[in-house]
């Protein structure tokens, strides 16, 4: 019964990364860096039916240094290269200030970079507007002084 539940639970969860089918067929025992080595060593013709996998492998190749530097901190100390967490780690879990230091080839391969730039520009605009309003309030001179009751009545 347990042997039946495990494959069904894997099917219910869906694919863990774009190379999952190829992973299961060619190197089922590999994970992390060994999975990367196994998949990148395949001949190009065997990767042709898997364009998403080719793109995923290319992203890992372009972002190798960034994955090593950033994602080990966010993946409980273990490397996340060639796992389903690698690209979300670089694209979404890392602070935008740190993403600004990514190499150009890596930054170009990550999803959402343009969106985050637009968001940061919008955030800068809103912060400038808040600062302007705050300064206007501080510099405003009241038209009339406040009249307080002289006998202590409120």
pLDDT at 154 over 90: no
Confidence bin at 12 (pLDDT 50/70/90) = very low
Mean pLDDT of 24-28: 85
Q: What is the chain's percent helix, strand, coil content, to nearest 5?
A: 65, 0, 35
Query: How many CB atoms lie under 10 A from the CB of residue 59?
Result: 22
Confidence bin at 6 (pLDDT 50/70/90) = very low
pLDDT at 14 over 60: no
* Least confident piece of the model among 65-69, 82-86, 126-130, 146-150: 146-150
Whether 80 contacts 67, CB under 8 Å: yes
The pLDDT score that the predictor gives to residue 3 is 39
- What is the pTM assigned to this prediction? 0.58
Residues 144, 148, 150, 154, Cα dihedral to 10°? 150
139 vs 149, more confident: 139
14 vs 147, more confident: 147
| Helical ranges in 41-112 per DSSP H | 44-47, 51-62, 64-66, 72-74, 86-88, 96-99, 104-109
The pLDDT score that the predictor gives to residue 105 is 93
pLDDT (tens digit per residue) in 50-96: 888 889 889 998 998 888 887 767 666 667 788 888 888 888 888 88
Using alpha carbons, select from 29, 116, 31, 111 the residue that is nearest to residue 63: 111
The pLDDT score that the predictor gives to residue 74 is 67
Distance CA 144, CA 30 (A): 77
Backbone angles phi, psi at 48, to 5 degrees: -55, -40
Distance CA 85, CA 95 (A): 16
pLDDT at 114 over 90: no
């Amino acid at each position: 019964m347990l042997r039946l539940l495990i494959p069904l639970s894997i099917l219910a969860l869906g694919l863990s990364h774009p190379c999952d089918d190829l992973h299961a067929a060619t190197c089922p025992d590999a994970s992390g860096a060994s999975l990367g080595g196994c998949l990148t060593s395949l001949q190009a013709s065997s990767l042709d039916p898997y364009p998403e996998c080719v793109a995923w492998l290319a992203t890992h190749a372009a972002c190798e240094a960034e994955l090593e530097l950033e994602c080990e901190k966010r993946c409980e100390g273990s490397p996340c290269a060639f796992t389903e967490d690698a690209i979300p780690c670089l694209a979404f879990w890392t602070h935008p200030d740190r993403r600004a230091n990514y190499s150009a080839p890596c930054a170009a391969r990550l999803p959402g970079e343009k969106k985050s730039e637009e968001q940061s520009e919008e955030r800068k605009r809103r912060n400038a507007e808040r600062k302007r309003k705050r300064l206007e309030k501080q510099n405003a001179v009241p038209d009339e002084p406040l009249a307080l009751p002289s006998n202590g009545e409120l």
